[in-house]
Structure 1
Amino acid sequence: MPREFKRSDRVADAMQRSLANFIRTEIGDPRVGMVNINSVVVTRDLAIAKVYVTVVGAESDAEAEASVAILNKAAGYLRTLVSKDLTLRATPKILFYYDATAIRGQVLSSLIDRAVAEDLSHHSEENNSEEG
């Protein structure tokens, strides 16, 4: 009977929980702000962990990229903390990437909501003019 989940997926899930905790509690740099970890992708050989993050409250992409740069500078420290938290033979090297998909999703959702609202108001205006 084959396994349902690959080892790299289980390691990625554990690293996501561990990193979320350590970024919140151990990274004291106020420039980082509040970070959401959208996903962690670990290579099959468990050598590299790509961590995709969104920075909550970032005014611009440049500000979010600056926070990600700070996280990448602290990646070695975070890797040490994760290795102590998880029992792995070798802890993957951590690379942080800014993930703007959640923000793009919110923008698209608001555009769709606005279009639907305009369409509804346009239909109600047509119905009122036909009745009168």
Structure 2
Amino acid sequence: MAREFSRTDRVAQQVHKEVASILQNEYKHRVGDMPLITVSDVDVSRDLAHAKIFVTIYNSTEEEGKVQIKQLAEYKKFIRSILAKRLRMRSVPDLHFFEDKSIIEGMRISNLVSQTIAKDESKRDQDDSQEQE
């Protein structure tokens, strides 16, 4: 029976799960006050040496997001050491954190579409009321 996913996909999925758990528990207690951070995606290189971790930072400005990414980069050795204890691998991938703005952009576009629909409906209602007069 053939495997459905490649090893890199399985490792990426496991890294995603564990890093999300680490950020919500150990990292949060060490850093203290921080915005809501979620892991949105993980890309692992073919040789399993590097992992790009895309995080979404909610309720923060662009500058605060950059500060959080910088802080994650400073704590990557701490996060990687905990990850090494949880994963059963010979070598744990080196972690690289990036801010993922796709969810925030999607919400912004959705709001713009909703506003446009509301404007169109109000114009249509005004046109209908003027025609009835």
Range into which the TM-score falls when normalised by the shorter chain: over 0.9
User: What SS does the corresponding residue of 2:31 show, helix, strand or coil?
Assistant: coil
Aligned residue in 2 for 1:110: 111
Q: For 1:70, what is the secondary structure of its paired residue?
A: helix
Alignment of 1:1-132 (within 5 A): 2-27=2-27, 28-30=30-32, 32-58=34-60, 60-132=61-133
> Following the alignment from structure 1 to structure 2, what is the Cα–Cα distance between the partners of residues 82 and 40?
14
Say which SS state the counterpart of residue 90 (structure 1) adopts: coil
Letter in 1 for 2:57: V
Rounded Cα–Cα distance in structure 2 between residues aligned with 1:61 and 1:122: 35
CA RMSD of superposed structures (Å): 1.3
Give 1:90 shift.
Answer: 1.2
Q: Distance in 2 between matches of 1:93 and 1:47?
A: 6
Deviation at 1:29, TM superposition (A): 1.1
Contact 1:31 1:67 (8 Å CA) reproduced:
no
1:21 aligned counterpart, secondary structure: helix
SS at match of 1:89: coil
Q: Secondary structure at the match of 1:57?
A: coil
Percent same amino acid at aligned positions? 29
Structure 1: which amino acid aligns with 2:42? V
TM-score, with structure 2 as normaliser? 0.92
Separation (CA, whole Å) in 2 of partners of 1:2 and 1:106: 39
| More off after superposition, 63-72 vs 1-10 | 1-10
Distance 2:45 2:72 in 1: 20
In structure 2, C-alpha distance between the alignment counterparts of 1:116 and 1:86, rounded to whole Å: 48
Aligned residue for 2:47, secondary structure, equals: coil
Give unpaired runs (5+ residues) of structure 2. Answer: none
Offset of residue 3 of structure 1:
2.6
